[in-house]
């Protein structure tokens, strides 16, 4: 429309279009975004291309679990990250009789910081984080300070979480596989799996009955 008005003025009067009139004509040629009957949304995807909601029947109920499995496994084995702690007694050879299970009673990152702090005077061989990552703080030949009276004969495993709250599926899955590997390595049976509450009942409640049942079920 603006171009047509320009041609009419040029032909009839031999002059260009006044700026105000050209501006009005140009605005008339624009689509209206305020008219609800002609509302346009140029930045939205066409309805046919919008992402579809997750169909649990097709993809399963726990898509995040599948992703975490890929993240935490390498060549079919759990990935183990390495950290260090000064809280241990060096050892050469020792007879491993137990695996002692704990919950941190706090968040994993906070527990990791505490286990590495020399002022805490506590440690564990392994820490299983909420997202399934396995962190090893000590070699199994060394003595961790995690359960009084049983440190010299045991391997301590901390699960990030609370005794009265369920541990995550991926956390239990990776922790159970770690435990299976340790049992096999030392020729131990499931009866060698102990809880902190079992060995120190007056002071401890972790890792909780429900969490223990989930872990043991994953070892079958």
Known catalytic residues are: 158
Which residues lie below 8 Å from residue 208, measured CB to CB, with a gap of 6+?
Answer: 103, 162, 163, 164, 165, 197
Give 176's strand partners: none
SS3 state of residue 114: helix
* Total residue length of the chain: 220
Helix (H, G, I), strand (E, B) or coil at 200: coil
Q: DSSP code of 120?
A: T
């Amino acid at each position: 429309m603006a171009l047509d008005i320009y041609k009419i003025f040029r032909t009839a009067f031999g002059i260009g279009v006044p700026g105000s009139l050209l501006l009005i004509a140009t605005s008339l040629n624009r689509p209206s975004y305020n008219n609800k009957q002609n509302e346009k949304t140029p930045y939205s995807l066409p309805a046919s291309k919008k992402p579809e909601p997750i169909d649990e029947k097709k993809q399963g109920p726990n898509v995040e679990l599948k992703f975490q499995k890929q993240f935490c496994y390498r060549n079919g084995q759990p990935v183990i990250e390495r950290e260090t702690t000064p809280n241990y007694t060096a050892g050469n050879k020792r007879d491993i009789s137990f695996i002692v299970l704990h919950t941190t009673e706090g968040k994993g990152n906070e527990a990791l910081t505490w286990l590495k702090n020399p002022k805490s005077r506590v440690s564990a061989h392994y820490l299983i984080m909420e997202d399934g990552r396995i962190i090893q703080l000590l070699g199994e030949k060394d003595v961790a300070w995690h359960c009084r009276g049983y440190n010299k004969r045991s391997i301590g495993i901390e699960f990030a979480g609370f005794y009265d709250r369920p541990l995550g599926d991926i956390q239990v899955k990776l922790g159970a596989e770690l435990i299976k590997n340790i049992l096999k390595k030392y020729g131990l049976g499931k009866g060698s799996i102990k809880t902190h509450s079992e060995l120190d009942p007056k002071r401890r409640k972790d890792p909780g009955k429900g969490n223990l049942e989930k872990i043991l079920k994953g070892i079958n």
